[in-house]
Amino acid sequence: MNYQYATSGTCSELIIFDIDENTVVTNIRFIGGCNGNLKAVSKLVDGWTAQQIADKLLGNECGFKGTSCADQLAKAVLEAAGKVGK
């Protein structure tokens, strides 16, 4: 399933990725944000399950924002995992 998640509180505006029935996440793309860093994050977690991504990235903050693009990715994949197969 292809999933799109509108971010909140970050420089990136949108996260697009694929998630399968086993909640494995691939083809992660961020729209906006720090291009090089977000490409690296996307490559590092490609092929991980939603829970693995959340375990590593949930709660990661950028400055004083209270969130980050990585934190938003964790929230996005958990949301998508809850909808897989429904």
For 10-53, write each residue's pLDDT tens digit: 999 999 999 999 999 999 999 999 999 999 999 999 999 999 99
The mean pLDDT value for 55-84 works out to 96
CA distances from 61 to 15, 24, 65 (A): 17, 24, 7
Residue 85: per-residue pLDDT: 64
Residue 9's Cα: distance from chain center in Å?
14
pLDDT at position 69 over 70: yes
Residue 25, class by beta-carbon neighbours within 10 Å (0-12 exposed, 13-18 middle, 19+ buried)?
A: buried
CA distances from 63 to 13, 51, 69 (A): 17, 25, 12
Q: How many CA atoms lie within 13 A of 57 on its CB side?
A: 25
> What's the token pair of residue 24?
């494995």
Residue 61: per-residue pLDDT: 95
Contact 19, 3 (CB under 8 A): yes
